[in-house]
């Protein structure tokens, strides 16, 4: 505590917060809030649109957003889509735990393009395999049909 002004009728003191209270504030409020915001940043919407230009040529565009749909990503276009499939990636995490990622990929003239992937691991698995397979099947059904558009 520091005396700013003192005389017979006035005493003005200035108290500096202790370093420990500043560190506790950072540790229990700012860091957890930053961590939560980083985790929810990837939560958003993925919109895949495909259009048949010719009987054998399908082009697709993916539009993704982050942070509950508030942050739009630039759209990505893929031409000459031939098929979709479930792709499962297995890896070892930083602490030695097994991690599995289930993704939907499109086969295009540019190679394999990952279009749908879950952003969060739950019990070492990212993306429900049956749900991702269903999305891939729906895309393949469209590719094998005469439909003009898929969204």
Q: Which tens digit of pLDDT belongs to each residue from 105-130?
A: 998 888 888 888 776 666 677 778 88
Q: Are 80 and 113 in contact (CB under 8 A)?
A: no
- Per-residue pLDDT of 88-107, as tens digits, reads 988 888 888 888 888 899 98
* 43/36 Cα distance (integer angstroms): 11
Cα 83 versus chain centre, distance: 24
CB atoms within 10 A of CB 50: 21
Q: What is the pTM of this model?
A: 0.66
Give the Å distances, CA to CA, from 93 to 69, 100, 102, 122, 126.
29, 10, 15, 13, 12
Structural domain boundaries of the chain?
A: 2-41, 46-150
Q: How wide is the angle at C-alpha 23 spanned by C-alphas 26 and 21, nearest 5°? A: 110
């Amino acid at each position: 505590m520091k005396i700013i002004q003192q005389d017979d009728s006035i005493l003005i003191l200035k108290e500096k917060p202790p370093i420990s209270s500043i560190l506790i504030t950072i540790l229990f409020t700012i860091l957890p809030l930053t961590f939560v915001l980083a985790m929810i940043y990837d939560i958003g919407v993925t919109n895949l649109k495909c259009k048949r230009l010719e009987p054998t040529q399908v082009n697709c565009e993916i539009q993704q957003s982050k942070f509950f749909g508030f942050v739009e990503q630039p759209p990505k276009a893929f031409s000459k889509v031939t098929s979709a499939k479930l792709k499962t990636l297995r890896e070892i995490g930083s602490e030695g735990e097994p991690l599995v990622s289930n993704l939907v990929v499109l086969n295009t003239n540019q190679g394999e393009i990952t279009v749908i992937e879950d952003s969060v691991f739950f019990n070492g698995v990212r993306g429900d395999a049956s749900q991702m397979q269903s999305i891939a099947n729906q895309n393949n059904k469209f590719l094998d049909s005469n439909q003009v558009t898929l969204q």
